[in-house]
Amino acid sequence: MGDSRETSAPNAFVTGYPVKHSRSPLIHGHWLRTLHLAGSYRAVEVTPEDFPAFIAGLKDGSSDFVGGNVTIPHKEMAFKLADRPDDLSEELGASNTLWLEDGLLHATNTDGRGFTANLDERQAGWDSTDRAVILGAGGASRAVIQAVRDRGIREIHVINRTVARARELADRFGPRVHAHPMPALAEVMQGAGLFVNTTSLGMDGEEAPLIDFSPLAGNAVVTDIVYVPLKTPLLAQAEQQGFAIVDGLGMLLHQAAPGFEKWFGKRPKVDEMLRALIIADMDGH
């Protein structure tokens, strides 16, 4: 007979403030059910003030979780409080996935892997370009820049309304990353094979600026990390102008997979059934 720790099912969390909009419980719940695994995954709302105590409870085992996801605004603090943040988290200064291993709290950031896995799945060959353009220099942009750089794309151009933020990222991510103000957009798009929107432009039905994508390479891929709506105004424009597009929903689904495997021991699949489940949830709101 094993002791209770061996036989009890693993519990994982997503924490944020607020957290009720998180779709992670739907994703992990779907995988737990379809893989017939015992275990739970639930949303836990924690204020920034209470977050250190929440992490302390995780580390000393009093909270009965094996790990979890961390979302806004706790990603930076999660990184700081982890015992063993990995190299990806170190460079980003933020973690979204935590797990206990040998009594220590490990941390990684899976957003970049989610980004590349989504493109690999839906537009294989997207990385056969020397030049990428990334619109936006906020929190979400960092993991995208890191992932695109680590894929080997030689020139990465970050365009942002506040150019100082783009410069900060160019300094952080090394000589292949270049910063530009908005008016440089048409020029840096020349011949680029990848265009990524990481800004909130066009999110939730907001107006988006008109963009002429024609300077891009003919086989360029345009993607948006926003997934509400699924086809953002920028993606609709790019499609109308004849470019391949990839929506951002797959990034959300794929970023969840590494954590699930850590906590529950099985590699889950991102499939059409899961996509349909999340789309139905989006339609219901």
> Which residues are designated catalytic?
75
Question: Of residues 180-219, which lie at the interface with ligand ATR (CB under 6 A)?
Answer: 198-201
Q: Which lies closer to ligand ATR via its Cβ, residue 37 or residue 282?
A: 282
- DSSP conformation letters of 211-269: ---TTS-TT-EEEES--SSSS-HHHHHHHHTT-EEE-SHHHHHHHHHHHHHHHHSS---
User: Could you tell me what percentage of the chain is helix, strand and coil, using 3-state DSSP and rounding each to the nearest 5?
Assistant: 40, 20, 40
3-state secondary structure 153-189: CCEEEEEECCHHHHHHHHHHHCCCEEEEEHHHHHHHH
Residue 160 interacting with ligand ATR (CB under 6 A): yes
> Binder to ligand ATR among 66, 94, 133, 140 (CB under 6 A)?
140
162 touching ligand ATR, by CB under 6 A: yes
- CB-nearer residue toward ligand ATR: 139 or 229: 139
Near ligand ATR by CB under 6 A: residue from 73, 93, 139, 215: 139
Find the residue with minimal CB distance to ligand ATR.
Answer: 138
Site string for ligand ATR, 89-128 (x = CB under 6 A): ----------------------------------------
Determine, following the binding rule CB under 6 A, whether residue 161 of this chain makes contact with ligand ATR: yes
The H or E element containing residue 91 is helix 87-92
Q: Which residues here bind ligand ATR, judged by CB under 6 A? A: 136-141, 160-162, 165, 198-201
